[in-house]
Structure 1
């Protein structure tokens, strides 16, 4: 009898692993503000996406988004009447960021995710902190400038990004027969262009400019003249159904946006030599961002 029970338990365990709830489907439902009070800690997701969030040469997590999120943490500390809030930085990729939010590994993704209506079905977004357009990068020698120049060619895209659908939609509408090649990371997608394995890599323009500037031969690369998309809002992602935390983050951002500090934070990463990289993007605030900082609002 005991042996029968053991066998049954083993069978249930095995079946549970095969047909049970997938790891990516597990939901962390403790209110974030409550956990911050209980633990004195907030979990912040970051990427390899200068100038928004990245590791510098000293192994520190830095960037435009990180500066803003550090400001948010200070505001939360005052709001929650805590002596301090420790920050635990969590590395994330475009493909696992929603999973890491949902399972509680990170509380907020402090990077620059495109705020789309489709994504808002899975995550909540903070007020926009940047506006960016998508272009593609290619080798200058191949003389690719327009979207139609990609006809019959392959284009790398990062898994978990909106760029996959953007390229596929353009290919369908214009009958370009583009072959999209999804890869795990932005750097891997860029390297495929360098190695000649794909004709182009589609990504946010500001990220591509930074990646080009960090190569040994920036003049070997060129951005497309034609945009893949118009300017789109970028924001920090948080878990759905955690309204108290989303509200607190947005209230903190509203205070930061209305202070003089935000201009200095922006200039530090986009208009001056980038700390740790010494790259100057020379990119002033767009009119869309100026308006978004002046009158922050939740996108529906």
Structure 2
């Protein structure tokens, strides 16, 4: 009986794998007249304004891409359905085709690429440390005996542990359910530092009650390519990559970047003040979908 059960389970797994490889996202979008966009509630690149409205750098990038998808499919109208995703559920929802295009702040890495595809890199992130200015923390070594906050479902603490300077550093970990919650742990003194992508740290500091109380300090822990996450459908990825190519070549992507990182943004009109990095410029000049491992080896 156990043998029959194992055979049945194996058959289901094979069928599930085959189904995942056979996703026809363009056909699904054309037949339904709807595209499901994965969005984040509190990311540095995609966040909510409330009442079902979203904004951010990656949100604007995806608006351009979705418009090009509509043109490619010859649709007079394409309805966008927004699906909020979290660090924990974003990969499964994209992998099984529930979400057609995820426009949050997801790192392209080898582990995730086994289940999903990534468009060409649109933002190269640096993982950093945010602290209160009066904390005395200036580097990784200063984290000894401290409490470190990060967000459930992200890889930041693992990245810290792999850093050479952290070999003998002992610290305690606490987890926020999302980035805003993780920053709240730092803000309320339940954590001494918040480890996360620099853009996310900068955005949360800019939106805090007292931005001047915080600083991003220490070594760059890792460099991570951020990209639009897609189901494994090569035809769909090509349409998305072709759309991004036009943004790279026309300079429109830099205008979108300036809008969200160097100018006042909604809802409070804060300025994140995060200049465009050379790594991001290079990714735009040489379009690629290389994973994080290619950057950090």
Same fold (TM > 0.5): yes
Relative distance call for 1:228 and 1:260 in structure 2 (3 A) is closer
Query: After alignment, is 32-41 or 115-124 more displaced?
Result: 115-124
Of 197, 210, 226, the match for 1:234: 226
Of 100, 122, 125, the match for 2:115: 122
Deviation at 1:226, TM superposition (A): 2.3
Question: In the alignment, which residue of structure 2 is the partner of 1:164?
Answer: 157
Deviation at 1:220, TM superposition (A): 2.2
Of 242, 261, 267, the match for 1:270: 261
Q: Secondary structure at the match of 2:270?
A: coil
In structure 1, how many angstroms separate the alpha carbons of the residues matched to 2:74 and 2:37? 20
Of 238, 244, 249, the match for 1:247: 238
Question: Is the 2:43–2:179 Cα contact (8 Å) retained in structure 1?
Answer: no
In structure 1, how many angstroms separate the alpha carbons of the residues matched to 2:86 and 2:152? 9
Relative distance call for 1:232 and 1:200 in structure 2 (3 A) is same
* Aligned residues between the structures: 278
Note the alpha carbon deviations across 1:43-76, whole angstroms, 9 max, x for none: 1111134541111256411111111111111111
Larger Rg: 1
Which 4+ runs in 1 deviate beyond 6 A? 24-27
Question: In the alignment, which residue of structure 1 is the partner of 2:274?
Answer: 283
Q: Secondary structure at the match of 1:244?
A: helix
Relative distance call for 1:155 and 1:27 in structure 2 (3 A) is farther
Question: Is the 2:121–2:226 Cα contact (8 Å) retained in structure 1?
Answer: yes
Relative distance call for 1:173 and 1:268 in structure 2 (3 A) is closer
Query: After alignment, is 218-227 or 163-172 more displaced?
Result: 163-172
Question: In the alignment, which residue of structure 1 is the partner of 2:124?
Answer: 131
Relative distance call for 1:25 and 1:215 in structure 2 (3 A) is farther
In structure 2, how many angstroms separate the alpha carbons of the residues matched to 1:177 and 1:254? 44
